[in-house]
Every structure is written in C-alpha cells, then in structure tokens.
C-alpha cells in the first residue's frame, strides 16, 4: 500500500485528536466512539496491523476506516513531519481495502450509483439541471465562468435551494456564468475519499475533457468538496483551470452588492466546512462576506477555523453514514457549540454541512433556537 513506509512512525501520542489549545477532542469518530482505535493514531496502528496480517478486514475495521470524515484535523494538529500525509494515508488504506473487494455496504451502494448514474441519488442525468428551471441561469456557452453545482446541489432539495441562491446572487453582481446542466457529472471528491481511485480517475478525466471541449478555464463551485478536488487533484491530472469557491467570488465583489442590501438584524455564527477551511485554507472569505452584511453580528464558535469540528459528512460519510448519528455525533455537538455563542443562525458555505447540521437541529428539537442558512441565503434575505 502507498505510504506503508510511514505507518510505523506514528507515536500514538494523540495531538492529532485535539484542537490547538487542547480544549476539545476534534476527531469526529474518536469523539463519538472514544476507543483509541477510532483515533487517528489508532487508525495508523491498525492499518499497519492489517498490512502485517495481524488483523483482518472485519466489519469493525471497516467502521474504523470509513468513519473517518477526512476532516484533516489530524493533518493540522499532528506534530510530526508526516502530518501532511495523514488523510492521504487513510485514503490509501481505503484504496487497498477496495482492491480486496471488501467494503461497507453503504459505500458500495454509493459507488455503484455513481458508476451507473453519475450521481448518488440514482436520478437521471436529465434532471441534473432541474434546480435551475424557471431561473435565468443559462447553460454554459463560452461564459467567463462555469458554475459547477455538484451532486448535492443538483439533486437534493435542500441543496437545490442553496444552488438557486448562489446563482441568483452571482447574476445580481453581473458575473457571467453558465452551468452544464444535464452534461454535468459528479466531481468525484467523495469517490476519491472513499478509495475508489479507478472510478475517480475516470470521472476526473471525463470532467477535464468536458472542460477542455468547452474551453472552460474558470470555474466557480457551489460545493467545497468539488472545489477541493478541482483545485487539487484535477490540476495534478493536468486540468488547466482556475477554480474558485463561490464565497471567494462574492468576497471580492461585496462592494457591488452592498448598495442593494438592507439591514437584516441577526446574530450569526459560521461553521467552517473542512474542504474549504483545513483542506484549502479559506477561512476569511466567508467571514468577510458575513461581516459586511448590514445588521449581521458575526460571532465565532470557540472551535473555529483550523479548530472547527467537522459536521460529520466528510470523507463520504454524508452518503455512507458509517460514522452514524446519535448524541455524540459531530453535527449535534456542533449545534451545541453554535448555541453556546448565542447565535440564532449557523451560516454554512456547503450544502452537505447544511443538511448535516439541519438534520441535527431537527433531531435535537432545536428548530426554535437555531437555523441553518447558507451564506448565499443570508445575502438573499438582505436583498429583500
């Protein structure tokens, strides 16, 4: 397996489970299960044990491996020089497990759907652009930007609302963009995170071909997951693209929006999506947008930026749910952290985070105290 020359170097010292100030455990599966085997170091040792034949691919081993949300808290906090490789090591282990053909059923279902339908919802490609029906959003035709929506924004009802809000605001500030609609296919970020490298490679190359064929050079993504793979993996595969998350575009052009905004009084806290924050260092752009909105008071949760707790949906868990729910699930803890700030709105910049957190609010019966809204939706409210 890739990285097998590093595995033994983990000391199991546990810095990787913590935040900067050591105040909280911040590895979602460790925080939920509490057995050392679910910590990043435990994972390192178990992957090595499996490589050496000391343990087998059991259901428990799969749970340990696939409950990792690829949130990169360990990448940020491990104190050893190999820290940058940690999430990739966990992906490499999933890759090796996939090669053995023994993967959790929910992961298999997800991958099968992507393979067969190009999306995890088993929906036809023709419906991929349906979220934009009735809106002035054009199909890409040589525009400056492609707005890439991704599977959740395209098919999930909640995701579609966010997609419409983002598109609406981009129109408002005169960004010239188009979408691929039914021609869009899955970006593959979760496929890669789940270790299905062959399928990821196919998706990525197909996407790159499409971008090339349409001479697409600049992409705005709705979803930080797509941003992550486009800006990293796709470029490594030779894609000649400039990639932006929509919050970067908005943060740059707030001046043109501000005159049309009305005062919208609310206390808001912001949840950093892992694929925007820890994976790509984009912490300030979303905050600068919120801070510029008239009437909005922005308060950070105690765990923020590189110390933010993942919503639990990363690394494929949004679809596979290997990590699972329950009182100790990260989304529920995150809700409590948001409530601690006194905010009434938890702002997100990712449709997957939006769903995860919203489900947690419902499960906890906190709808009267906290609401999830994408940054684009908050702007829309200020637009009146």
Chain residues that interact with ligand SF4, rule: CB under 6 A: 10-16, 27-29, 40-41, 43-44, 68-74, 78-80, 86-87, 90
Chosen residue from 3, 15, 121, 283 binding other proteins by CB under 8 A: 15
If the CB atoms of residues 82 and 121 are measured against ligand SF4, the closer one turns out to be 82
Nearer to other proteins, 29 or 120 (CB): 29
Residue 72 interface partner, choices other proteins, ligand SF4, none, CB cut-off 5-8 Å depending on type: ligand SF4
Q: Which of 27, 28, 31, 64 binds other proteins (CB under 8 A)?
A: 64
Instruction: Report the length, in residues, of the chain.
Output: 384
Region at 196 (left for phi over 0; alpha for psi -120 to 50; beta for the rest):
beta
Backbone angles phi, psi at 69, to 5 degrees: -95, 10
Q: With the C-alpha atoms ordered 282, 268, 145, 191, is the resulting torsion angle positive or negative?
A: positive
Backbone dihedral angles phi then psi of residue 145, each to the nearest 5 degrees: -120, 150
Contacted by 71, from ligand SF4, other proteins, none: CB < 5 to 8 Å by type? ligand SF4
The least distance separating ligand SF4 from the CB of residue 306, rounded to whole angstroms, comes to 12
Stretch that binds other proteins, among 2-10, 151-159, 205-213, 282-290 (CB under 8 A): 2-10
Listed in order, strand segments (DSSP E) in 92-194 are: 145-148, 177-178
- Residue 90 as a binder of other proteins (CB under 8 A): the answer is no
Count CB atoms within 10 A of the CB of residue 368. 8
Determine which helix (DSSP H) or strand (DSSP E) holds 161, and give its type and residue range: helix 157-172
CA atoms within 13 A on the CB side of 154: 28
Would you say 22 or 198 has its CB closer to other proteins?
Answer: 22
Residues 6+ apart with CB under 8 A from 134: none
Contact map string, positions 225 to 264, toward other proteins, x by CB under 8 A: ----------------------------------------
17 sits near other proteins (criterion: CB under 8 A): yes
Answer for which of 26, 29, 31, 45 binds other proteins (CB under 8 A) is: 45
User: Is 42 near other proteins (CB under 8 A)?
Assistant: yes
Of 23 and 209, CB closest to other proteins: 23
How near is the Cβ of 39 to other proteins at its closest, in Å? 9
**Ramachandran sector of residue 326 (left: φ over 0; alpha: ψ -120 to 50; beta: rest):** left
Report residue 215: phi and psi, to 5°.
55, 40
Q: Any idea what DSSP says for residue 24?
A: S
Q: How far is the CB of 40 from ligand SF4 (least distance, A)?
A: 4
- Alpha-carbon distance 176 to 184, whole Å? 18
Interface residues toward other proteins, by CB under 8 A: 8-15, 17-18, 21-23, 33-37, 42, 45-46, 49, 54-56, 58, 60-61, 64, 79-80
């Amino acid at each position: 397996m890739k990285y097998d020359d590093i595995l033994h170097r983990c000391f199991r010292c546990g810095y990787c489970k913590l935040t900067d100030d050591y105040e909280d455990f911040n590895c979602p599966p460790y925080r939920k299960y509490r057995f050392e085997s679910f910590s990043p170091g435990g994972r390192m040792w178990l992957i090595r044990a499996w490589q050496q034949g000391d343990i087998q691919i059991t259901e428990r081993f799969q749970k340990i491996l696939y409950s990792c949300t690829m949130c990169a808290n360990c990448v940020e906090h491990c104190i050893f020089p190999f820290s940058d490789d940690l999430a990739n090591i966990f992906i490499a282990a999933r890759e090796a497990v996939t090669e053995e053909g023994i993967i959790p059923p929910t992961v298999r279902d997800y991958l099968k759907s992507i393979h067969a339908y190009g999306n995890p919802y088993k929906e036809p490609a023709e419906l991929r652009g349906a979220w934009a029906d009735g809106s002035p959003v054009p199909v890409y035709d040589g525009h400056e930007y492609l707005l890439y929506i991704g599977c959740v924004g395209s098919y999930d009802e909640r995701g579609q609302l966010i997609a419409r809000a983002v598109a609406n605001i981009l129109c408002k500030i005169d960004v010239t963009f188009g979408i691929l609609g039914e021609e869009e296919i899955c970006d593959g970020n979760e496929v890669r995170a789940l270790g299905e490298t062959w399928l990821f490679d196919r998706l990525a190359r197909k996407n790159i071909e499409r971008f090339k064929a349409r001479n697409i050079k600049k992409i705005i993504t709705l979803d930080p997951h797509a941003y992550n793979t486009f800006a990293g993996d796709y470029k490594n595969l030779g894609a000649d693209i400039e990639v932006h998350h929509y919050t970067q575009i908005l943060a740059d052009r707030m001046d043109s929006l501000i005159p049309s905004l009305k005062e919208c009084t609310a206390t808001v806290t912001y949840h950093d999506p892992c694929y925007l924050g820890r994976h790509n260092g984009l912490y300030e752009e979303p905050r600068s947008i919120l801070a510029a909105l008239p009437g909005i008071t922005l308060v950070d949760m105690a765990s923020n930026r590189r110390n933010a707790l993942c919503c639990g949906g990363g690394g494929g868990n949004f679809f596979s749910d290997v990590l699972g729910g329950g009182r100790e699930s990260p989304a529920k803890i995150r809700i409590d952290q948001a409530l601690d700030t006194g905010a009434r709105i938890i702002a997100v910049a990712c449709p997957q985070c939006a769903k995860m957190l919203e489900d947690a609010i419902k499960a906890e019966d906190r709808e009267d105290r906290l609401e999830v809204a994408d940054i684009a939706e908050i702007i829309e409210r200020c637009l009146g």
